[in-house]
């Protein structure tokens, strides 16, 4: 963003102006500056970092800023704002490049190309410490001895792979605590996505065989596994064991579904990332495709922050340096543009990985086609992003940043409960998306459990979650429809959050973002606490547009829940005790009320009095009398 100070700096190039002052600061540092490699920081009058740069020779590189005739307008503004500098010398230029990327991410300088979305990527984790290994999604540090496969571009990409692995290899996903406490198979066993080792439906040797098959599949040896399963399916079919043959058929089908999503199986690549940039409207989109063991494990679009005058040739190397600052680079990186100082960047990445890393720009063949596909995806994504200018889209993007989602949520589900001392208990779900509230998707849940303690909000929330997501797991286990939410918001605090996450975990759902919003002190709007799994509660500024949006969602869910509860209570109030009496319909009920005036008077009447009512026989009168005197 250009500030008035920037404009003044750009227009004032006289020796007495800000530019002359900035040059004087830089020249003062030149007197004692070394010619060794290193990293420099340019600071403004507040001490904020304006720019981080690396140099083979600090003295030569910094001296270039003292000649404004060779500088772009952007750099002139930066020099004019410079009031001090900080230097760090390194042994080699490679070390300087690595340090530069780290400092850019730390200080987020306004004049650097900046990778804004740099959270860690998910992996498939195979925990082999248990006799019956568990497969699950993992995001974060990999410090134990478990096996990790990835990275995957997004939670959606890893979820699809996990779903296919569950169907193809029937591996468990439950926690060790749930595993030890099971006494009967869970829902995943019923829908043929787990072999149920928790209740001895499979022995250890057979389960180990399934684990080895899944391991081979993740390592790219899917062909051998498919041939093995096909052989077993045919053998079972020839033996007329059609049930077993059907199981192998379903497993093969699950593997084929994963491979059907692979667009690069014919390209002979092991581990590689395809990085392609597209530029339009002064913005750049960088698409990264993750290829591991010859399989496409998804792609993601990034939108690095940079000045509109900077070209792809400038943006892409800076992006690559920051992108791999906290990630292990693959052996090959395919790009769609020339890379400035490519040899130096390769050396830096090789140093970080502990092995050789190559950066290549293919000009022909299958690899070139793959880069072209990534570049087209980058352009398409950028075009869509430029078109998203509505306030709703901006809010959803901010919401994604706040809660570390994989992207702007397309479906948000908000839950609330309503009751009076446990009576007429009702759970409510509202749905919102890019187009606003989707009222046709709203749902009410009449609390049905007889074991609930009246007013137990946690138990009510567990029942709602079980019914809602248990049905989703049964009807759409592959998550192929838009019925699955991208974000779940519940009205409440840490207790409600725990009730929801525990219930979802019991259903085998551990990757769904859940947020609980608790009302602030004195229940005042603007003081809400936000609770997320694994994070301390936090507040948003009272003027935050995201806070206002979430308040609207919460209030809509509360309105819907209260409305449903009141309607149900009103219906119950209209009901008469006579509605439960066998043999008393609308006509006899009307006659009784007209004769006695109220249902309580009917309940206290004798058989003779009841028989005196027009239309009430002796048998009916006795039935009414027995109902009110013998009915518990």
Is 431 a domain residue? Answer: yes
Is 283 a domain residue? Answer: yes
Cβ(478)–Cβ(461) under 8 Å?
no
Q: Comparing 428 with 296, which gets the higher pLDDT?
A: 428
> pLDDT at position 223, please?
67
Whether residue 43 sits in one domain with residue 181: no
pLDDT, mean of residues 434-446: 87
Burial 172-193 (b: 16+ CB within 10 A, else e): bbbeeebbeeeeeebbbbeebb
Evaluate if residue 156 carries a pLDDT over 50.
yes
Burial 491-525 (b: 16+ CB within 10 A, else e): bbbeebbbbbbebbbbbbbebbbbbbbbeeeeeee
Mean pLDDT of the chain: 85
Task: State which residues form the domain around 591.
Answer: 577-630
Cα–Cα distance between 448 and 466 in angstroms, integer?
Answer: 12
Evaluate if residue 563 carries a pLDDT over 60.
yes
Whether residue 129 sits in one domain with residue 103: no
Cα–Cα distance between 503 and 461 in angstroms, integer?
Answer: 9
Is 56 a domain residue? Answer: yes
Which CATH number do you get for residue 37? 3.40.1440.10
Task: Give 624: exposed, middle or buried? Use CB within 10 Å, 0-12, 13-18, 19+.
Answer: buried
Evaluate if residue 389 carries a pLDDT over 80.
no
Q: Which two tokens stand for residue 3?
A: 């500030």
> pLDDT at position 632, please?
40
Q: Comparing 578 with 3, which gets the higher pLDDT?
A: 578
Is 393 a domain residue? Answer: no
What's the pTM value of the predicted model, to 2 decimals?
Answer: 0.58
Whether residue 129 sits in one domain with residue 217: yes
Evaluate if residue 92 carries a pLDDT over 60.
yes
Q: Comparing 148 with 569, which gets the higher pLDDT?
A: 148
Whether residue 247 sits in one domain with residue 190: yes
Whether residue 509 sits in one domain with residue 405: yes
Segment (H or E) for 204: helix 204-218
Cα–Cα distance between 369 and 378 in angstroms, integer?
Answer: 14
Whether residue 372 sits in one domain with residue 249: no
> pLDDT at position 4, please?
46
Whether residue 219 sits in one domain with residue 168: yes
Whether residue 19 sits in one domain with residue 73: yes
Which CATH number do you get for residue 425? 3.30.420.340
Evaluate if residue 384 carries a pLDDT over 80.
no
Evaluate if residue 232 carries a pLDDT over 60.
yes
> pLDDT at position 12, please?
46
> pLDDT at position 245, please?
81
Whether residue 412 sits in one domain with residue 355: no
The predicted-structure confidence for 286-341, as pLDDT tens digits, reads as follows 999 988 877 788 888 999 989 888 889 989 999 999 999 888 899 999 999 988 88
The predicted-structure confidence for 479-500, as pLDDT tens digits, reads as follows 877 899 999 999 999 999 999 9
Cβ(224)–Cβ(196) under 8 Å?
no
Evaluate if residue 627 carries a pLDDT over 70.
yes
pLDDT, mean of residues 400-428: 87
- If one counts the domains in the chain, the total is 5
Among 155-169, 206-220, 429-443, 493-507, which is the least confidently predicted range?
155-169
Is 562 a domain residue? Answer: yes
pLDDT, mean of residues 595-612: 82
Whether residue 552 sits in one domain with residue 537: yes
> pLDDT at position 497, please?
95
Task: Give 463: exposed, middle or buried? Use CB within 10 Å, 0-12, 13-18, 19+.
Answer: buried
Largest Cα–Cα separation, the chain: 117
Is 48 a domain residue? Answer: yes
Q: Which two tokens stand for residue 369?
A: 């086609």
Evaluate if residue 10 carries a pLDDT over 60.
no
Where do the DSSP E strands lie in 395-548?
Answer: 412-420, 423-433, 436-437, 443-446, 487-491, 514-518, 529-531
Domain-ending residue, one of 73, 107, 141: 107
CB atoms within 10 A of CB 157: 22
Where does the pLDDT of residue 87 fall: very low under 50, low under 70, confident under 90, or very high at 90 and above? very high
Whether residue 566 sits in one domain with residue 443: yes
Whether residue 590 sits in one domain with residue 561: no
> pLDDT at position 251, please?
76
Residue percentage of the chain with pLDDT more than 70: 90
The predicted-structure confidence for 245-273, as pLDDT tens digits, reads as follows 887 787 777 776 655 555 454 456 778 99
């Amino acid at each position: 963003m250009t500030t008035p100070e920037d404009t003044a700096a750009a227009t004032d190039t006289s020796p007495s102006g800000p530019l002359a002052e900035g040059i004087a600061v830089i020249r003062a540092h030149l007197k004692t500056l070394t010619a060794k490699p290193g990293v420099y920081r340019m600071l403004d009058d507040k001490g904020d970092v304006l720019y981080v740069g690396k140099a083979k020779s600090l003295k030569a590189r910094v001296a270039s800023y003292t000649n404004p005739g060779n500088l772009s307008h952007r750099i002139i503004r930066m020099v004019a704002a410079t009031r001090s500098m900080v230097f760090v010398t390194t042994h080699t230029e490679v070390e300087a490049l690595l340090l530069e990327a780290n400092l850019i991410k730390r200080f987020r300088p306004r004049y650097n190309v900046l990778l804004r979305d740099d959270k860690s990527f998910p992996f498939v984790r195979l925990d082999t410490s248990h006799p019956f290994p568990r497969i699950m999604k993992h995001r974060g540090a990999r410090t134990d001895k478990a096996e990790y496969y990835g990275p995957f571009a997004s939670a959606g990409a890893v979820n699809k792979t996990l779903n296919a692995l569950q169907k193809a290899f029937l591996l468990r996903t439950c926690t060790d605590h749930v595993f030890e406490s099971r006494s009967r198979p869970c829902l995943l066993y019923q829908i043929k996505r787990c072999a149920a080792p928790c209740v001895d439906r499979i022995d250890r040797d057979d389960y180990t065989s399934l684990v080895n098959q899944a391991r081979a599949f993740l390592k790219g040896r899917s062909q051998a596994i498919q041939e093995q399963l096909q052989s077993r399916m045919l053998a079972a079919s020839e033996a007329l064991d059609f049930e077993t043959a059907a199981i192998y058929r379903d497993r093969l089908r699950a593997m084929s579904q994963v491979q059907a999503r692979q667009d690069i199986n014919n390209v002979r690549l092991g581990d590689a990332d395809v990085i392609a940039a597209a530029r339009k409207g002064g913005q750049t989109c960088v698409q990264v495709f993750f290829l591991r063991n010859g399989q496409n494990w998804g792609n993601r679009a990034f939108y690095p922050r940079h000045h509109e005058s900077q070209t792809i040739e400038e943006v892409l190397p800076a992006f690559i340096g920051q992108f791999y600052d906290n990630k292990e680079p693959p052996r090959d990186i395919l790009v769609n543009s020339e890379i400035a100082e490519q040899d130096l960047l390769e050396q830096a990445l090789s140093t970080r990985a502990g092995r050789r890393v190559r950066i290549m720009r293919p000009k022909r063949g299958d690899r070139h086609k793959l880069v072209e596909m990534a570049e087209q995806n980058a352009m398409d994504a950028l075009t869509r992003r430029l078109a998203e200018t509505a306030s709703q889209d901006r809010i959803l993007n901010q919401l994604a940043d706040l809660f570390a989602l994989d992207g702007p949520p397309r479906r948000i589900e908000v839950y609330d409960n309503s009751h009076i001392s446990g009576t007429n208990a009702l759970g409510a779900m509202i749905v919102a998306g890019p187009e606003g509230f989707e009222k046709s998707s709203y749902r009410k849940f009449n609390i049905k459990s007889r074991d609930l303690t009246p007013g137990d909000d946690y138990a009510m929330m567990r029942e709602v979650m079980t019914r809602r997501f248990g049905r989703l797991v049964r009807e759409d286990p592959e998550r192929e429809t838009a019925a699955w939410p991208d974000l779940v918001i519940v009205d409440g605090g840490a207790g409600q959050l725990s009730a929801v996450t525990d219930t979802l975990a019991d259903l085998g759902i551990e990757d769904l973002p859940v947020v609980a919003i608790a009302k602030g002190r004195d229940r005042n709007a603007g003081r809400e606490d936000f609770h997320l799994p694994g994070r301390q509660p936090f507040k948003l500024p009272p003027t935050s547009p995201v806070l206002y949006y979430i308040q609207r969602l919460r209030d809509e869910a509360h309105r819907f829940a209260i409305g449903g509860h009141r309607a149900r209570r009103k219906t119950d109030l209209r009901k008469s005790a006579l509605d439960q009496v066998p043999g008393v319909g609308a006509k006899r009920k009307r006659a009784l009320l007209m004769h006695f005036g109220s249902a309580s008077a009917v309940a206290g009447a004798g058989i003779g009095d009841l028989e005196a009512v027009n239309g009430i026989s002796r048998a009916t009168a006795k039935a009414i009398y027995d109902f009110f005197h013998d009915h518990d």
